[in-house]
C-alpha cells in the first residue's frame, strides 16, 4: 500500500521544517509519495470592474508560475534527488480548504504544514491557516514548529 503525504509550503523557514519532517516520515514507509503544495490565498468574492476581471486571469497564471519556479519545483527536485517519489501543485484559494481538497483528491494519508507565528489581530480572531486546517481536515494534520 502506498502512503501519500501532502506538504503545505509557504516559502518560510517553518515550511522548510515541515518539508524536512515529511521527508523523515516518508523514509519510514516502503512506498510513499510526497506532494508539495503551495496555496496562493485568493478570494473569489472580490468584486472588480470588467477591466480588472480581464487582468485577473493573467495575474493568477503569473502567480502560479512564480510559486512553482521559486518554491515548489526546487522542493520537488530536492526530494527526487534524495530518492523520493514527489510531485508538486500550486493552487489559488483558501489555504486550509485547498490543502484539504488536495489531500482528498489525492487520497492522502496525512498533511504536514509549518506553523507561522504571526501575532496579528486578524490571526487571533479568525485563526491561522494551520489552525483552520487542523479543525476541518479530513485526514490527520501535523503542524511543525
Q: Which domains are present in the chain? A: 3-144 (3.40.50.620)
**pLDDT digits (tens), the chain, 145 positions:** 689 999 999 989 999 999 999 999 999 999 999 999 999 987 666 666 777 777 877 888 999 999 999 999 999 999 999 999 999 999 999 999 999 999 999 999 999 999 875 555 444 434 478 888 999 999 999 999 8
At 86 the pLDDT is 98
At 126 the pLDDT is 40
Sign of CA dihedral 91, 95, 96, 97: negative
Query: Residues 27, 79: contact at Cβ < 8 Å?
Result: no
At 130 the pLDDT is 87
At 60 the pLDDT is 87
At 82 the pLDDT is 96
Query: Residues 107, 4: contact at Cβ < 8 Å?
Result: yes
At 6 the pLDDT is 98
Query: Residues 67, 10: contact at Cβ < 8 Å?
Result: no
At 118 the pLDDT is 55
E strand intervals along 1-84: 3-9, 32-41
At 51 the pLDDT is 75
Which helix (H) or strand (E) is 133 found in, with range? Answer: helix 129-136
Placement of cell 482528498 in the chain: 104
Amino acid at each position: 500500500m502506498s502512503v501519500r503525504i501532502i506538504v503545505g509550503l509557504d516559502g518560510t523557514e517553518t515550511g522548510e521544517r515541515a518539508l524536512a519532517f515529511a521527508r523523515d516520515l516518508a523514509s519510514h514507509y516502503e512506498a510513499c509519495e510526497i506532494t508539495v503544495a503551495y496555496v496562493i490565498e485568493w478570494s473569489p468574492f472580490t468584486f472588480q470592474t470588467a477591466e480588472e476581471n480581464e487582468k485577473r486571469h493573467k495575474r493568477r497564471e503569473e502567480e502560479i508560475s512564480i510559486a512553482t519556479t521559486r518554491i515548489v519545483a526546487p522542493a520537488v527536485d530536492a526530494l527526487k534527488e534524495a530518492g523520493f517519489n514527489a510531485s508538486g501543485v500550486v493552487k489559488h484559494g483558501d489555504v486550509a480548504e485547498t490543502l484539504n481538497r488536495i489531500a482528498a483528491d489525492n487520497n492522502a494519508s496525512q498533511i504536514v504544514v509549518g506553523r507561522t507565528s504571526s501575532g496579528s489581530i486578524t490571526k487571533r480572531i479568525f485563526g491561522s491557516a494551520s489552525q483552520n486546517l487542523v479543525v476541518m481536515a479530513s485526514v490527520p494534520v501535523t503542524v511543525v514548529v
